[in-house]
Amino acid sequence: MRTVDTRYARNGDVRIAYQVIGQGSLDLVFVPGFVSNLEILWEDPGFAHLVKRLSAFSRLILFDKRGTGLSDRFNPYGSPSLAAQVDDLLAVLNAAGSGRTALLGEADGVAVSLLFSTTHPQRTRALALYGGYAHFYGSVMQGQFLAEFLQKIDTDWGRGMTLQRFSASRADDQRFSAWWGRLERLSASPSSAMALARMSASIDIRDRLSKVQVPTMVVHRMGDVHVNPDGGRFLAANIPGATFTGLPGNDHPIWMGDIDRMADTVEEFLTGERRVPSGGRVLVALLIVRVLGARQLPDGINDQQRREQLANFRDLATNLLVLHGGHVLNWDLERITIRFDGAARAAQCALALRDLAETSSLRLAQGVHAGEIEASGDLASGFAIHVAERVAAAAQSGSVLVSSVVAELAKGSGLRFVESCTVDIDGFDAPVRLLSVAAEQHLEPVRHHKAEPSLAALTVREREVLHLVADGMSNAAIASRLDLSEHTVKRHVANMLLKLDLPTRTAAAAFSARHAKA
């Protein structure tokens, strides 16, 4: 069982337990369903595998909602309202230093995720909603069955009594059933479990679905034994621009059944990329980005604004990576490792990241090398990564260095390479030539420092996208309106923000409003 630090966020007098795993290019918070316990769940190989998959491309935030697991318990005769859970989620994100996150909601957590996105749209990147519903009685169980369920909790809680309700395929597994009973006991008392069940029964957010303004994907296992798939279809049909993905299987918990297929679906929705093929050696270009630190910021910039600035850079950088076909292998405070299918793409992305860093008051040093890596599941290894790290280590602030292999592979790409230096690298008989890289002179963009960006910088299509962003439409809704793929819209949004030197969609909307009045 993996050991992960458990921390506590505070919402008033209530403390919420949370964990942070991974260093990917985006923040993703898992909003749990009925009950959970962050210590016990790690004992299950399925849960551990799901976390491994999700944290491979994200900085994953896990938490126990109030009344369950390691978080503070509530008065069992009170009501753990959805509004309170939304506030708890905000407290967790603030404690974890997350400025803007994607939400992966499961079952009851779908309602919390949806309400959070409409209450705090500026903190919500996207919604991936699994096994959820908008109206409990319409999708989960009728009143008489709820009464029977509550009675079973009152008399048999802690003996694995809910397993049949959530996973019929595992109910006959005596060892797993005993573990499930332990999960019940350590997740909530019988009174707390009944209070949580009553809270679930009160869920009816049908009137809030039309207010969702972020990209949304609804996923449901078509044989789900706990929540009728029609509940998921209803969500997708009533959330603007939402898509519905039906998967095979009848297990309700997201960490059971075909976990890899579930993780693949979530990863592709949030990153636009499929999982790196497992097994075998592949030829790739590797970009290592060293984050040297922030430049001197203006007086009056506080820690919260600094975090927002870094979060904005991370969002824009992620858009750039999508635009250039990059796949993040590792992202931490001081280093980013990215793989590309082509050497020219890697070098061009490095130049774009350098320019973006300048507008964000950050200092980067970058190195690019091409070679074979060993892909195994979510991991990548090989001598090429070591070489790329040595190239990046030789780079100075603001520079992009490439190995001679990259320069050869990128001939004819419109990039200009200038001899820079040589470095000794273990495994090579002679020093390795390094070259600095820049765009061809006639392709260099003209920079107007501190000038107001102009609509003239945008293509006709990008202007259309800008106006729809200003109207509050999600990428999925824009794609539907313009008859484009969502990936194409994401690329237009990334180009638009970069050309206008704007940090967020909100800033783009404000820019559009200013020019509409001009």
pLDDT of residue 442: 36
- DSSP, res 331: E
Q: Which top CATH class is 455-517?
A: mainly alpha
SS3 of 24-64 = CCEEEEEECCCCCCHHHHCCCHHHHHHHHHHHCCEEEEEEC
pLDDT of residue 306: 63
Residue 69 pLDDT > 80? yes
Q: Give the C-alpha distances (Å, rounded to integers) separating 496 from 245, 460, 469, 490.
A: 29, 11, 11, 10
- In CATH terms, the fold of domain 7-140+204-271 is Rossmann fold (3.40.50)
- DSSP, res 239: S
For residue 390, give the amino acid letter: R
Residue 171 pLDDT > 80? no
Q: pLDDT: is 310 or 49 the higher one?
A: 49
User: How do residues 300-313 score in pLDDT, each as one tens digit?
Assistant: 556 666 666 667 77
Rg (CA), the chain: 25
pLDDT of residue 445: 38
Q: Which of 48-52, 373-377, 380-384, 490-494 has the highest mean pLDDT?
A: 48-52
The sign of the torsion formed by the CA atoms of 372, 374, 378, 379 equals negative
Phi-psi group of 78: left, alpha or beta (phi > 0 → left; psi -120 to 50 → alpha; rest → beta): beta
Q: Other CB atoms closer than 10 Å to residue 405's CB: what's the count? A: 18
In whole angstroms, give the CA distance from residue 464 to residue 311: 26
DSSP codes joined into one string, 375-444: EETTEEESHHHHHHHHHHHHPPTT-EEEEHHHHHHTTTSSEEEEEEEEE--TT-SSPEEEEEEEE-GGGS
Place of tokens 């029964």: 201
In whole angstroms, give the CA distance from residue 475 to residue 489: 6
Q: Quick one: pLDDT band at residue 75, thresholds 50, 70, 90?
A: low
Q: How far is CA 237 from the centre of its chain?
A: 23
Q: Which of 66-70, 80-84, 450-454 has the lowest mean pLDDT?
A: 450-454
Q: Quick one: pLDDT band at residue 253, thresholds 50, 70, 90?
A: very high
Please answer whether residues 324 and 368 qualify as being in contact, where contact means their C-beta atoms are separated by less than 8 angstroms.
no
Place of tokens 């000794």: 424
Pairing outcome for strands 415-423 and 432-439: antiparallel
Residue 388 pLDDT > 90? yes
Q: Which residues pair with 367 in a beta bridge?
A: 288, 401
User: How do residues 110-163 score in pLDDT, each as one tens digit?
Assistant: 999 999 999 999 999 999 999 999 999 888 888 778 888 899 899 999 898 888
Indicate the helix (H) or strand (E) that contains 181. helix 174-187
Q: Other CB atoms closer than 10 Å to residue 255's CB: what's the count? A: 19
Residue 451 pLDDT > 90? no
Please answer whether residues 7 and 94 qualify as being in contact, where contact means their C-beta atoms are separated by less than 8 angstroms.
no
Q: How would you class 318 by CB atoms within 10 Å of its CB: exposed for 0-12, middle for 13-18, buried for 19 or more?
A: buried
Q: What is the mean pLDDT of residues 291-305?
A: 59
Please answer whether residues 320 and 352 qualify as being in contact, where contact means their C-beta atoms are separated by less than 8 angstroms.
yes
Q: What is the mean pLDDT of residues 295-303?
A: 52
Q: Supply 339's token pair.
A: 């793989």
pLDDT of residue 205: 92
Residue 271 pLDDT > 80? yes
Q: pLDDT: is 513 or 190 the higher one?
A: 190
Phi-psi group of 502: left, alpha or beta (phi > 0 → left; psi -120 to 50 → alpha; rest → beta): beta
pLDDT of residue 376: 62
pTM (2 decimals)?
0.57
Average pLDDT taken over every residue of the chain: 84
Q: What is the mean pLDDT of residues 39-67?
A: 91
pLDDT of residue 441: 42
Q: Quick one: pLDDT band at residue 340, thresholds 50, 70, 90?
A: confident
- DSSP, res 172: T
In whole angstroms, give the CA distance from residue 157 to residue 184: 7
User: How do residues 82-107 score in pLDDT, each as one tens digit?
Assistant: 888 999 999 999 999 888 899 999 99
What architecture does CATH give domain 281-443?
A: 2-Layer Sandwich (3.30)
Q: Other CB atoms closer than 10 Å to residue 177's CB: what's the count? A: 17
User: How do residues 310-331 score in pLDDT, each as one tens digit?
Assistant: 677 777 787 677 667 788 888 7
Residue 447 pLDDT > 50? no
What 3-state DSSP class applies to 371? Answer: strand
What 3-state DSSP class applies to 233? Answer: helix
pLDDT of residue 448: 38
pLDDT of residue 415: 85
DSSP codes joined into one string, 206-235: GGGGGG--S-EEEEEETT-SSS-HHHHHHH
Nearest to 126 by CA among 6, 55, 26, 226: 26
Pairing outcome for strands 26-31 and 58-63: parallel
In whole angstroms, give the CA distance from residue 452 to residue 468: 21
Angle between helices 460-470 and 505-517 (to 10 degrees): 100
For 82, phi then psi, to 5°, come to -65, -35
Q: What is the mean pLDDT of residues 172-191?
A: 90
Place of tokens 């969702």: 212
Q: pLDDT: is 79 or 491 the higher one?
A: 491
User: How do residues 209-240 score in pLDDT, each as one tens digit?
Assistant: 999 999 999 999 988 889 999 999 999 999 99
Q: What is the mean pLDDT of residues 50-63?
A: 92
For the chain, domain boundaries: 7-140+204-271, 281-443, 455-517
Q: What is the mean pLDDT of residues 474-492?
A: 79
Q: Quick one: pLDDT band at residue 275, thresholds 50, 70, 90?
A: low
User: How do residues 496-505 score in pLDDT, each as one tens digit?
Assistant: 776 777 656 6
Q: What is the mean pLDDT of residues 374-392?
A: 81
Residue 7 pLDDT > 70? yes
